[in-house]
Amino acid sequence: MSKLLEIIKNPGVQIAMLVVFLVVVSAGIWGVYTTQTSPEQPILFPHNIHVNMQIPCLYCHPGAWRQASAGLPTQQKCWACHGQLKKYFQPEVPLANWPLELQKLSSYVKESKPIQWVPVYQVPDFVHFNHRPHIAAALNCETCHGDMSKKTVATLEQTVNMGWCINCHQQKTINDPAKRTKLLDCGTCHY
Ligand code: HEC
Ligand code: HEC
Ligand code: HEC
Ligand code: HEC
Ligand code: HEC
């Protein structure tokens, strides 16, 4: 113990510790910043119009059921519909008369340039989140992402931090101590 104290008293070691501390803190602040803003998107995609037409969430985000990542649609998926809409093609409406956001979509398709959607919901790399067990536990998308039938692009409905995950894991396991232990275990979300 006293040996350790001597090492810590060494000014060089203290500076090194300060540097490590600052790196950790700034990484933490950057992490919170990047996980908690609602960015501008390349196309102002209107969820409301599409969700109110009863297009299922999983049509555009199929991975939310099958794998860790929900996935975002490519321009081909958009164009499967938009390349056919009578409103624009029968009779053909000049591109210049299309709504601006659809002109943008059309140019992504013509240039086969992928649309770089900007992430909204994100957990840091050291956290393990998988949609599947949540959907299997009958949570709906709205619980965590809000009512998309009232939004254009996605916005952050929740502060995505550890407290949010833990709170719900506690609430959902009030009558099941074994499951509670598992869902609150550090290794369940960090490994
Ligand atoms: C299942 C069919 C379908 C898919 C898939 C689809 N849309 Fe649409 N979208 C529609 C229909 C129908 C409308 C309403 C008709 C209209 O006003 O153009 C619409 C409306 C829009 C509008 C509003 C147009 C306006 O009038 O301002 C935008 C923008 C749009 N879609 C973009 C997209 C993008 C981007 C994608 C892919 C991420 C996409 N859509 C995928 C069917 C679809
Ligand atoms: C328990 C809360 C919760 C529920 C329920 C939930 N999500 Fe998520 N979702 C998250 C979190 C947390 C992230 C960030 C994941 C990451 O960074 O790996 C996320 C990310 C996403 C993303 C971003 C892209 C991606 O590939 O991860 C999409 C799209 C998405 N969710 C759609 C859905 C849909 C659709 C449903 C319903 C079928 C749903 N989510 C249900 C919490 C939830
Ligand atoms: C026609 C395709 C389409 C449908 C249907 C659709 N979405 Fe999306 N979704 C998108 C696109 C495009 C984006 C990327 C732009 C944005 O962030 O809003 C997106 C983004 C998201 C995000 C943010 C992803 C991220 O990067 O963190 C969530 C959450 C989400 N959608 C949830 C839903 C839910 C829940 C439903 C059903 C109620 C739904 N979406 C229906 C196309 C769709
Ligand atoms: C709204 C409630 C809710 C929120 C928010 C939530 N979870 Fe969960 N989580 C659940 C439920 C319910 C289960 C499934 C429990 C069961 O097995 O029945 C679950 C299961 C899990 C599992 C699987 C555990 C296993 O069985 O191996 C992981 C990992 C997990 N959640 C991580 C997270 C992380 C990380 C976050 C935050 C980013 C989060 N959850 C946010 C409710 C939630
Ligand atoms: C249900 C999922 C879940 C469980 C269980 C969990 N964590 Fe986390 N943890 C997260 C998420 C999500 C983040 C990232 C967001 C944040 O920083 O709050 C995080 C961040 C952290 C960080 C980074 C520092 C910070 O606050 O940014 C540390 C350290 C940490 N967890 C330690 C632990 C320890 C120790 C345990 C066990 C007592 C634990 N976690 C259990 C989800 C979980």
What is the rounded distance in angstroms from the CA atom of residue 140 to the CA atom of residue 135? 7
In the chain, the percentage of residues whose pLDDT exceeds 70 is 80
Closest atom, ligand 3, to C-alpha of 43 = 15
Give the C-alpha distances (Å, rounded to integers) separating 146 from 48, 76, 79, 161, 191: 12, 27, 26, 16, 29
* Average pLDDT across the chain, whole number: 86
Centre of ligand 3 to C-alpha 183, Å, is 27
Domain ranges of the chain: 1-35, 40-189
Q: In angstroms, what is the span from residue 37 Cα to ligand 3's centroid?
A: 16
pLDDT digits (tens, 9 = 90+) for 13-61: 565 555 555 455 555 555 555 444 567 999 999 999 999 999 999 999 9
Distances (CA, A) of 57 to 50, 63, 148, 165, 166: 9, 10, 9, 22, 26
- The Å distance, Cα 122 to ligand 2 centre, comes to 9
Task: Look at ligand 5, atom 9, and give the residue with the nearest C-alpha.
Answer: 162
Which of the ligands is closest to the CA of residue 133?
Answer: 4
The ligand that comes nearest to the alpha carbon of residue 135 is 2
Helix, strand, coil abundance in the chain, percent, nearest 5: 55, 0, 40
